[in-house]
Amino acid sequence: MDEKGMTNMRRGLAARAVMVAILMVGCARTPATTTSAPSPTGAATSGTSSSGSNTGTTAANRAGTTTGNLGSTGSGARVNPGDYAVASELADVHFDFDKYEILPAEATLLDSHAAWLKQNGDRLILIEGHCDERGTTEYNVALGERRAKATMNYLVSQGIQANRITIISYGEERPVCSEKTEACWSKNRRANFLVKPR
């Protein structure tokens, strides 16, 4: 099968997966959040999330304050991304194109994030998953979710309690760069971190 055929097949499978998620969650365009224990394989299985990068603005400024941006945790509690703020100590982690595996350099960065989170045990974390503009909206929302979940799983493997972490995916909707170049796209393929006191 040629590359175009593989791409079409992946998009078809992703569209089916998103349709199932829509039926379970309600609306794919409304970010939902979840807090849950990691899956045994480390693969992302639940939650969607995303917002902007670490720019010094609050999540409320980036995510808006509408109830459409509310999500729920695994326990069913509602989560408002606007309640979280940027922590300058927690830099974005980045991903390869169409991937959600944690890269070795990003693992080193996440190790330092885990150390900071251990020292600041009174903070809850919101991990936002983002994508570049390539791919369908539905595919990118699912990929952003997998990136956020993979990031969460890594932090949990480093001793951070899963019940402190919520994830959300915005897919391609909140880019930090809008040029149509690989250098720009690579900045948009990210997971970033917001925090709030417990």
CB 179 within 8 A of CB 76: no
Q: Give the residue among 154, 93, 163, 159 at the shortest CA–CA distance from 123.
A: 163
Mean pLDDT value across residues 92-101: 98
Residue 77, pLDDT score = 58
Mean pLDDT value across residues 164-168: 96
Please tell me the distance from the alpha carbon of residue 148 to that of residue 42, in angstroms, as a whole number: 11
pLDDT tens by residue, 2-30: 565 556 666 666 666 555 444 443 333 33
Mean of pLDDT over the chain? 75
Domains and CATH numbers, the chain: 28-197 (3.30.1330.60)
CB 168 within 8 A of CB 50: yes
Residue 80, pLDDT score = 87
Tell me which H or E stretch contains 194. Answer: strand 190-197
Residue 1, pLDDT score = 57
pLDDT tens by residue, 148-162: 999 999 999 999 999
If one compares 22 and 183, the residue with the highest pLDDT of the two is 183
If one compares 177 and 21, the residue with the highest pLDDT of the two is 177
Mean pLDDT value across residues 26-55: 36
Backbone angles phi, psi at 77, to 5 degrees: -70, 145
Tell me which H or E stretch contains 60. Answer: helix 59-63
The structure's pTM equals: 0.65
Proportion of the chain above pLDDT 70, given as a percent: 61
Chain centroid to CA 103: 16
Residue 104, pLDDT score = 97
Say if residue 88's pLDDT is above 60.
Answer: yes
